[in-house]
Amino acid sequence: MAFFSSTATVPQNLTFVSSNKLSFSPSSTTSFNFVSFPSFQSKFCKTITSSPQITRAHAPPTPSTETTTASSFHGLCYVVGDNIDTDQIIPAEHLTLVPSKPDEYQKLGSFALIGLPDSYTVRFVESGETKTKYSIIIGGANFGCGSSREHAPVALGASGAAAVVAESYARIFFRNSVATGEVYPLESETRLCEECRTGDVVTVELAENRLINHTSGKEYQLKPIGDAGPVIEAGGIFAYARKTGMIPTR
Amino acid sequence: MASSLVPSPSTSFFHTTKRCHKHASRKIYCSVAAPQQTQRTPSTTGSVKTAMTMTEKIMARASEKQQVRPGDNIWTNVDILMTHDVCGPGSIGIFKKEFGEDAKVWDREKVVIIPDHYIFTSDERANRNVDILRDFCNEQDIKYFYDIKDLSNFKANPDYKGVCHIALAQEGHCRPGEVLLGTDSHTCTAGAFGQFATGIGNTDAGFVLGAGKLLLKVPPTLRFVMDGEMPDYLLAKDLILQIIGEITVAGATYKSMEFVGSTVESLNMEERMTLCNMVVEAGGKNGVIPPDSVTYKYLEGKTSVPYESVYSDQQARFLSGYRFDVTKLEPLVAKPHSPDNRALARECKDVKINRVYIGSCTGGKTEDFMAAAKVFLASGGKKVKVPTFLVPATQKVWMDVYSLPVPGSGGKTCSQIFEEAGCDTPASPSCGACLGGPKDTYARMNEPQVCVSTTNRNFPGRMGHREGEIYLASPYTAAASALTGYVTDPREFLQ
């Protein structure tokens, strides 16, 4: 399961914690490869390698059983409006890609949010790229409505996004995000989609349920994760089920 | 344990047409004279119990609990798991990864695999995905796999059905009181049979494949009471568009939608399916309609699996209730680009359209085609002014379109009426262009056009082109619009 399968146990102190500095080095701005840009954006598991290898739901399981909880996400944000449905997140013509196949998983990432109308002048994934430079998506109400396609959170995760902070979610998308671990689905107290602009640098502090917009200097309260918490903390539905004895351990 | 009204064992498994308050699977043997007690409904016996809604009761039974409340997270046993060609391969991948390459599904008779989304296409990955399903079904000896191999002629595939939600109903996999999960948002369609049916993703489905159960949160219920005789220019699609327009696309998020009232009781099964089908467009988790004689008649001969209906308790608590007098409603459309962008069809009469699409689980069933044919017939031989695409949901629907006589036509079939009206020839049954699909999908919108469609969603790009404009409508409204080339209220022809 994505959440906590890790290539290496990473000590907590490598998680980005400072809220007062932008910790990217000048050299990393040349390419918007998501790894070289503030590398702390990789989600629940921290990878300290510089290769684009991301440990995610569909990578081969590792023998390591120790897991690390990410305590924050940091990076550029991409702002969308209300009712962003799954057809906009990943248009149906790309659903022939099977998320559990590693190469097709990567391809899904390159199509993330490609269905957004042309009124979105900045693309989430640049033309010709396979990864996004935005680690956090800020959405309005009812994010992820429409189809049950798990390809939606998968595409976002595969593109390199770490978290979504939306005013509210559609049920199946939220569930799929929690189940796959592809993006951490957070809810805001206010309409952040009206407060933030695409390209703002933000940090999400999970333990404090807080989002900091470094570009505007403002901070916002987020809602606690709620019922999904135990499932996310366990490491997804399979890990949770094993932990609670509902299915046998492997 | 208090005695309560208990049917004799020979009838306890079968449907009852009465409002049934018996507790699910309890048998009480009275071999000695027990103290006389007043007959009380189970919900008031024993420890203090709260009355439950239909959805709560189904979930309680499926999780082997006496009582559940909205907000409870419970491990729910699954009666049927459905998947198709788009989400099946991914679900299978997760199943194998998590349970092992040699793992077996929890019950080979409870997994129903229905290729239906991207079938009649030359897209290699799409075709490969059906192969993946076949390999899995062979390996697991899955009992219900509605396979297709010959893409050039759907009729040459005896097992192939078409759109999963309609196939599930037609093949008798939908039963009152059960829990049906599917890797498709419109799995909620099956709620028309009085069961808990909802859509899930690949990971959850992979879990169910191995475990036969899933962690689900009990939703509170919104109650929609619809009364009045259904006007002859309205269909269930108008009712659900009315409701979605009322509560918005997030109005039912995480909630169950229960449809009751004299109007609902007057609807046939396919119309009830249309009603429940678009529950997800309001954000709903599931929809339910109480089973009755209409349900049982439809189920006759379709299933030999015993089932047991449940009904909301008299005192059940609903989150809120809505009441509609259907005689006051008018034909509606949902304008681009949202299913809750409700408008009266007659107020859109100046909207010029380029095409009409009649198909999908929402509007491609036998009754939907019958309705469209009725409008063409009533027009007195007029011809459509725009390309009119017809995509029957399943093989059976296709056959009905070609064989059933349309009332009042002097024995003509839908297909004949469609041909006389100048519609396109009914296409091979599948989901078709409802969701766009691979570029070569029949009737896919590849240019920015205006379409009146009997489908379920009209978000940007839904049927293909990002700037396409889709007006969701009933089959009556779609047919009327085809005849004029503008969005048209069907009363132009039906009255």
In three-state form (DSSP H/G/I as H, E/B as E, the rest C), the secondary structure along chain B is CCCCCCCCHHHHCCCCCCCCCCCCCCCCCCCCCCCCCCCCCHHHCCCCCCCCCHHHHHHHHHCCCCCCCCCCEEEEECCEEEECCCCHHHHHHHHHHHHCCCCCCCCCCCEEECCCCCCCCCCHHHHHHHHHHHHHHHHHCCCEECCCCCCCCHHHCCCCCECHHHHHHHCCCCCCCCEEEECCHHHHHHHHHCCEEEECCHHHHHHHHHHCEEEEECCCEEEEEEECCCCCCCCHHHHHHHHHHHHCCCCCECCEEEEECHHHHHCCHHHHHHHHHHHHHHCECEEECCCCHHHHHHHCCCCCCCCCCCCCCCCCCCCEEEEEEHHHCCCEEECCCCCCCEEEHHHHCCCECCEEEEEHHHHCCHHHHHHHHHHHHHCCCCCCCCCEEEECCEHHHHHHHHHCECCCCCCCEHHHHHHHHCCCCCCCCCCHHHHCCCCCCCCCECCCCEEEECCCCCCCCCCECCCCEEEEECHHHHHHHHHHCECCCCHHHHC
Q: What pLDDT, on the 0 to 100 scale, is given for residue B15?
A: 36
CB contact under 8 A, B436 and A240: no
Kindly give, in sequence order, each residue whose CB lies less than 8 Å from that of residue B479, ignoring residues fewer than 6 positions away. B356, B358, B371, B372, B373, B374, B375, B376, B490, B493
Chain B CB within 8 Å of residue A100 CB: yes
Q: Indicate if the pLDDT at residue A46 is higher than 50.
A: no
Q: What pLDDT, on the 0 to 100 scale, is given for residue A51?
A: 31
Share of chain B above pLDDT 70, in %: 90
B185 CB neighbours in chain A (<8 A) are 146-148, 172
Segment among A52-66, A122-136, B83-97, B410-424 with least mean pLDDT = A52-66
Of A4-18, B27-41, B459-473, highest mean pLDDT: B459-473
A234 band by pLDDT with thresholds 50, 70 and 90: confident
Q: What pLDDT, on the 0 to 100 scale, is given for residue B37?
A: 56
Q: What pLDDT, on the 0 to 100 scale, is given for residue B42?
A: 56
- Look up the pTM and report it: 0.85
Q: What pLDDT, on the 0 to 100 scale, is given for residue A69?
A: 54
Interval B105-159: pLDDT, tens: 999 999 999 999 999 999 999 999 999 999 999 999 999 999 999 999 999 999 9
Q: Indicate if the pLDDT at residue B2 is higher than 50.
A: no
Chain B CB within 8 Å of residue A55 CB: no
B32 band by pLDDT with thresholds 50, 70 and 90: low
Note the ipTM here: 0.86
Between CA B5 and CA B20 the distance in angstroms is 9
Q: Which residue in the set B73, B75, B90 is minimally distant from A99, CB to CB? A: B90
Q: What pLDDT, on the 0 to 100 scale, is given for residue B495?
A: 87
B14 band by pLDDT with thresholds 50, 70 and 90: very low
Q: What pLDDT, on the 0 to 100 scale, is given for residue B306?
A: 97
The order of strands in the sheet holding B111-113 is B144-145, B111-113, B80-83, B179-182, B196-199
Q: What pLDDT, on the 0 to 100 scale, is given for residue B258?
A: 98
Between CA B1 and CA B306 the distance in angstroms is 26
Q: Indicate if the pLDDT at residue A39 is higher than 60.
A: no
Nearest residue to B374 (alpha-carbon basis) of B265, B483, B252, B224:
B483
Closest CA of chain A from B118, distance in Å: 8
Q: Indicate if the pLDDT at residue B410 is higher than 90.
A: yes
Interval B217-226: pLDDT, tens: 999 999 999 9
Q: Indicate if the pLDDT at residue A135 is higher than 80.
A: yes
Closest CA of chain B from A117, distance in Å: 6
Q: Indicate if the pLDDT at residue A127 is higher than 90.
A: yes
Closest CA of chain A from B396, distance in Å: 26
Share of chain A above pLDDT 70, in %: 72
Q: Indicate if the pLDDT at residue A3 is higher than 80.
A: no
Give me the mean pLDDT over the A167-193 stretch.
Answer: 95
Chain B CB within 8 Å of residue A156 CB: no
Closest CA of chain B from A16, distance in Å: 30
Q: Indicate if the pLDDT at residue A2 is higher than 80.
A: no
Interval B164-185: pLDDT, tens: 999 999 999 999 999 999 999 9
Q: What pLDDT, on the 0 to 100 scale, is given for residue B443?
A: 97
Residue of B98, B102, B203, B255 to mutate when probing chain A, most A C-beta within 10 A: B203
Q: Which residue in the set B201, B462, B467 is minimally distant from A172, CB to CB? A: B201
CB B377 within 8 A of CB B343: no
Q: Indicate if the pLDDT at residue A35 is higher than 60.
A: no
Interval B50-73: pLDDT, tens: 899 999 999 999 999 999 999 999
B22 band by pLDDT with thresholds 50, 70 and 90: very low
Segment among A25-34, A204-213, B94-103, B240-249 with least mean pLDDT = A25-34
B437 CB neighbours in chain A (<8 A) are 92-93
Give me the mean pLDDT over the A5-12 stretch.
Answer: 35
Interval A94-123: pLDDT, tens: 999 999 999 999 999 999 999 999 999 999
B460 CB neighbours in chain A (<8 A) are 87-88, 115-117
CB contact under 8 A, A176 and B210: no
The order of strands in the sheet holding B221-227 is B286-288, B256-260, B221-227, B320-325
Q: Which residue in the set B202, B462, B467 is minimally distant from A87, CB to CB? A: B462
Q: Indicate if the pLDDT at residue B341 is higher than 90.
A: yes
Q: Indicate if the pLDDT at residue B334 is higher than 60.
A: yes
A148 CB neighbours in chain B (<8 A) are 87, 183-185, 187, 199-201
The CA-atom distances, in angstroms, between A169 and each of A86, A188, B137, B185, B399 are 12, 11, 35, 15, 41
Q: Indicate if the pLDDT at residue B388 is higher than 90.
A: yes
Q: What pLDDT, on the 0 to 100 scale, is given for residue A65?
A: 38
Q: Indicate if the pLDDT at residue B274 is higher than 80.
A: yes
Strand-pair partners of B226: B324
